[in-house]
Amino acid sequence: MTLRGKDHSWRSLQQDAQLTKARCKGFLSKFFILVAASFLCVIAFRGCAHFHKPLLCPQPLRKVTFTSDGVLSENWVKRHVSIPLGKDLMRIDLGYIKTQLEAYSQVASAIITRKFPDTLAIEIKEFKPMAKLLVSTQGKRCIRLISAEGKLFTPIAYTKHGIKTLPTLSDVTGPLIQERKILKFNKIYKLLVELMRQYPDVYATIVQISLKNFDPLLEEKWLQVDLRTSYNQHLIFNCTQIDVQMRKLKGILYALTPQQRSQLLRIDLSLTNPVVAFR
């Protein structure tokens, strides 16, 4: 019987030696490539560290950038918020500054970020006023503004003229306000926006919004508002089916003569068949 095994002649030994030699050369080549790559990485890192050394070292706060979508200014922030200029930027408590800003009811949100090497960026979003409300606080009459969301807030940096042009919310009872917010004011906001869009000249004359018949705790058909103009006219809307009521208003205003418009006292659009009354 003949065994077919490995050829143990000198030719076989020579081939094994050549394979081993080739493997060693490949290993050495990879080793030197790895060493060279590591060396280049070290050089690159040291170069970056040298050129960007100010970024890697603690830097004192030298500059504050400020943006807002409302009326608050950078000077107001510097006067009313404690910002530790000169302190190590990384040691500044961003949450504390955010808390200070959002303590003001006009500020909806504040975002504070570090901008290396030495800058603090402050971005503020404010509530936008749609109306004003007179309230009594500690025996004094104060003005609160009302945002589109119904949020009541103390006005900051608004001019007297700017506040005066806002319509006044009247006939506001206690149940209408919960957690410093007018319940379902978003319904009123939609009505005002639609009136502003379709009849800007009429909207400009609105001086008062009566909520005498506005009850957010009942069905939506009871969400009725009385818009009173500077000409002592009453436009009564229901906060449902606003588009339908706007079309009715368009038809009524189109049908009135200039003399009739001057004598107009009341348009009740909350009814199925609108009622028009004259002086």
pLDDT tens string 140-194: 899 999 999 999 999 999 999 999 999 999 999 988 999 999 999 999 999 999 9
pLDDT band at 1 (very low <50, low <70, confident <90, very high): very low
Q: Please name the residues in contact with 51: beta carbons below 8 A apart, sequence gap of 6 or more.
A: none
Name all domains of the chain by residue range, CATH numbers in brackets: 63-126 (3.10.20.310), 129-278 (3.40.50.11690)
Q: CA–CA separation, 146 vs 154, rounded Å?
A: 9
Tell if the pTM clears 0.85, that is, is over it. Answer: no
CA-based nearest residue to 168, from 206, 135, 131: 131
pLDDT band at 10 (very low <50, low <70, confident <90, very high): very low
Predicted local distance difference test score (pLDDT) of residue 263: 95
Q: Of 5-9, 117-121, 238-242, which gets the smallest average pLDDT?
A: 5-9
Predicted local distance difference test score (pLDDT) of residue 3: 47
Helices vs. strands in the chain: H and E counts, helices first: 9, 12
